[in-house]
Amino acid sequence: MTQILDTIQSPADVKKLTMAELQQLAGEIREELINVLSRTGGHLGPNLGVVELTIAMHYVFNTPQDHFLFDVSHQAYVHKLLTGRRDRFHTIRTPGGLNGFMLRTESEHDAYGAGHAGTALSAALGMAAARDRLGGKEHVVALAGDAAFTCGITYEALNNIASQTKRLIIVLNDNKWSIDKNVGAIASYFNKLVTNPHYHRIYERAAKLVERVGGKSAAQVARKAEEAAKSMLWPSVIFEEFGLKYYGPADGHDIPSLIRTFEFLKQLDRPVLLHVLTQKGRGFEPAEEKIKKFHGLGPYDPETGETKPLTQRTYSEVFADSLTALAKQNDKVLAITAAMPNGTALDRFRAVHPTKYYDVGIAEEHAMLFAAGLAAKGMKPFVAIYSTFMQRAFDQIVHDVCLQNLPVVMCMDRGGLSGDDGPTHHGLFDISYLRGIPNLVHMSPSNEDELADMLYTALLHNGPVALRYPRGIGPGAEVKAQPVALEIGHAELLEHSAQDRVAIFSLGNMLPTARKLAQALDAGGVPAAVINARFAKPIDAAMVRDFAARCEVLVTMEDHALAGGFGSAVLEELSRAGLATPVVRIGWPDQFIEHGKPDDLRRKYGLTAEAALEQVRQILDSRARQALGISV
């Protein structure tokens, strides 16, 4: 039996369907999401929640002429299915397949790419302002979850919308969750909007009147009733204070009602906000019950929702457990996250130390400033934020933490490649964007036990510390009951001999690759030293100079961009010392790396022992020819 979804090649096909067929399409899309993502993994819960909403948007508007912007855009899978990508949907988040986020280069229907929260309103306003200047008639629709309204950028956009465009549609997708349950005053405010029975009764009466009578007079009565409802609750709805006309709350799973509403909003010549209520994970019981788990996950059983259990703790879990232990020993230890208690594993810390735990919402800048204030009063805050999201707090790191030399610890999860999530989530730039800041210590562990030691070292250090660690599990090192303090700026010499011709400096999780390279060199009669660098700043300058003076080649290895990374720091030190020893730098090239399996991407871009061996051999062969007087 042919499914309706099989007939959808573009949004034009959606517009041909009856209301009953649209409902059937919603069911088929949910089935497609559940089955495909069970094999590839992905953001299941958010997409199950926006099925009807996305269908209604495509029924009413006309992409790519009209523009849809999705905040974060992890909830754009339904949009991809309706815009000619159904035949490739099984490839989502797989090497060479569809990206898990909006991507301008993937489709003309993807008006704006994103992977971080809080981007939609500002970008949509920019597009609307450009349209106005060019005399265009297209619609710009920004869909943002309620979690995006804990993000400061969203309010910076709201402050400018009314003065900079006459026409913009914002859809507030309210499901009460980001990855974890939303927190703070904004979440409470939305809850009041949603739950007040007086507002609902008056709003529903107004809506029914419009449907029953129609015409301008009915619309005016409805508007008056709505305004009266708002004034009964509080002086004004916050969005109207920003100059946006507020509509809602509306049922985000009622396709006919959503279509009528969007048709109405299309006619308005002013910025508007539609408040829509949706259920995250709708239609798949495991996702409805385990909302955090099914926000984004790997492969699972499509019948039960069960996932394959990990056999050991992830780096995130080791971080959280180690910090939990430190907080038991020291009352000044506090943990801060920006809406990521599950992703950073701080939910484990929260369970033990609820009064020492802070979730500030999607507000990385505030998180860092908040930590600076805590540190200024003698506290020891550990701020757990993904490397890619820490970029947003750069000014606060420089101006508020490092300039004042405050003892804030930046715990950067996903430091390095983030695999399936792609370029918006790879943590490949934190060394380069932090290494030039005075007072900062930057370190990276080679295994789980060293991570615990580095956290303890950071606790004892009276100044700012950045600590990066990778996604997923490590080599499985046993974590000691009591961590030890490391000497800041000192590398660990693991393998060496008096005959070493090559010295391999490995940072973080590249150590297994460094050992493999050393073994290959030794097998070829080239003794090699292996050094666990530990610190990207300050690097162990004495050890670098020592090996550079007596070895023919240095090798640096890092799960980071080569530009400005650890290898660059080594080159700078050699320049200061006046040493010209050749350096083979292994790391990521000066480009954004696509999504894919980490091992495949490392092979493609040369982050392997085999690629490093080839470069080292070329240098050694060249030096040998030069020594024999043979021109190269």
CA distance 341 to 43: 17
Which H, E and C letters describe 137-162, residue by residue?
CCCEEEEEEHHHHHCHHHHHHHHHHH
> Is 364 a residue of the active site?
yes
Catalytic residue (choose from 52, 226, 364, 448): 364
Q: Is the pLDDT of residue 507 over 70?
A: yes
394 pLDDT exceeds 70? yes
28 and 154 part of one domain: yes
**How many residues belong to the chain?**
632
Residue that wins the pLDDT comparison between 469 and 290: 469
Q: Which of 296-300, 495-499, 575-579, 593-597 has the lowest mean pLDDT?
A: 296-300
User: Tens of pLDDT along 164-175?
Assistant: 999 999 999 988
Mean pLDDT of the chain: 89
Q: Taking residues 46-63, what's their average pLDDT?
A: 95
- The model's confidence at residue 239, banded by pLDDT at 50, 70 and 90, is confident
Instruction: Judge whether 58 lies within some domain.
Output: yes
Which one of 468, 502, 528 terminates a domain? 468
b/e burial code for range 50-83 (CB count within 10 A of at least 16 → b)? bbbbbbbbbbbbebeebbbbbbbbbbbbbbbbbb
DSSP string computed for 323-353: HHHHHHH-TTEEEEESS-TTTTTHHHHHHH-
Treating both helix axes as pointing N-terminal to C-terminal, what angle do 51-60 and 19-40 enclose, rounded to 10 degrees? 130
Q: Mark which of 285, 306, 341 sits at the end of a domain.
A: 285
Pair 366, 402 in one domain: yes
pLDDT given at position 231: 43
410 with 439: CB under 8 angstroms?
no
Question: How far apart are the C-alpha atoms of 30 and 20, rounded to whole Å?
Answer: 16
Catalytic residue among 348, 356, 392, 534: 392
Does any domain span residue 322?
Answer: yes
Residue 308 lies in a domain: no
CA pair distance 43, 71, nearest whole angstrom: 14
Q: Is the pLDDT of residue 230 over 50?
A: no
- Angstrom distance (rounded) from CA 40 to CA 392: 29
For residue 249, the enclosing domain spans: 4-174+243-285
Query: How far is it, in rounded angstroms, from Cα 504 to Cα 495?
Result: 10
- 126 with 87, same domain: the answer is yes
In a domain, 204, yes or no: no
In a domain, 238, yes or no: no
- The enclosing domain of 556 has a CATH number of 3.40.50.920
What is residue 299's three-state secondary structure? Answer: coil
Is 377 contained in some domain? yes
Residue with tokens 């540190």: 375
Percent of the chain, pLDDT > 70? Answer: 88
- How many other CB atoms sit within 10 Å of the CB of residue 346? 28
160 shares its domain with 268 = yes
In this structure, are 21 and 170 located in the same domain? yes
- 328-365 pLDDT, tens per residue? 999 999 999 999 999 999 999 999 999 999 999 999 99
**Active-site residue flag, 450:** no
**CATH number, position 433:** 3.40.50.970
> Is 442 found in the same domain as 331?
yes
Provide the domain count of the chain.
3
Q: Are residues 402 and 508 in the same domain?
A: no
Residue 527 has pLDDT above 70, yes or no: yes
How many other C-beta atoms can be found within 10 angstroms of the C-beta atom of residue 284? 19
In this structure, the answer to whether residues 429 and 560 fall within a common structural domain is: no
Whether 257 and 137 share a structural domain:
yes
Check whether residue 8 and residue 147 sit in a common domain: yes
**Percentage of the chain exceeding pLDDT 90:** 73
pLDDT of residue 334: 98
380 is catalytic: no
Structure confidence at residue 72 (pLDDT): 86
Of residues 557 and 280, more confidently modeled? 557
- pTM comes to 0.84
Residue 48 sits in the same domain as residue 170:
yes
Q: Does the pLDDT at position 114 exceed 80?
A: yes
Residue that finishes a domain, picked among 234, 266, 285 = 285
Is residue 179 a part of any domain in this protein?
no
201 in any annotated domain: no
Per annotation, catalytic residue among 230, 280, 356, 537: 280
Same domain flag for 274 and 338: no
